Amino acid sequence: MSGLQKYHDSFNVNNLNAYVDLKNTVEGNNEVIVKFTLPEGLRVVSEVRVNVLITKNNSNNNGETTTASTGSTENTSNTQDISQ
């Protein structure tokens, strides 16, 4: 995260929301980017990726349900902090 010191000082981990978009995934292993919703004044400076395994479960009514489980995580930090 990057931002002015006053935003870091008031940051509470309970205000951090993380999610992944599974729209363009396929059955099997998929690498997806973790997206964050941060409080005002803070921003993400390095991309976080996780491996997600997508499998199909057969339900009793012959419909399909998609499930996802996460694997290892990777933090790509080739960015720099440019806080003011």
Beta bridge partners of residue 19, listed in sequence order: 35
Average pLDDT estimate for 46-66: 77
pTM of the model: 0.60
Q: How far apart are CA 37 and CA 30, in angstroms?
A: 22
Which tops the pLDDT comparison, 64 or 83? 64
The predicted pLDDT at position 48 comes to 93
The predicted pLDDT at position 19 comes to 93
What pLDDT digit, counting tens, does each position of 3-31 carry?
A: 889 888 888 888 788 999 999 999 999 99
CA-to-CA dists, residue 74 to 11, 51, 79, angstroms = 23, 9, 14
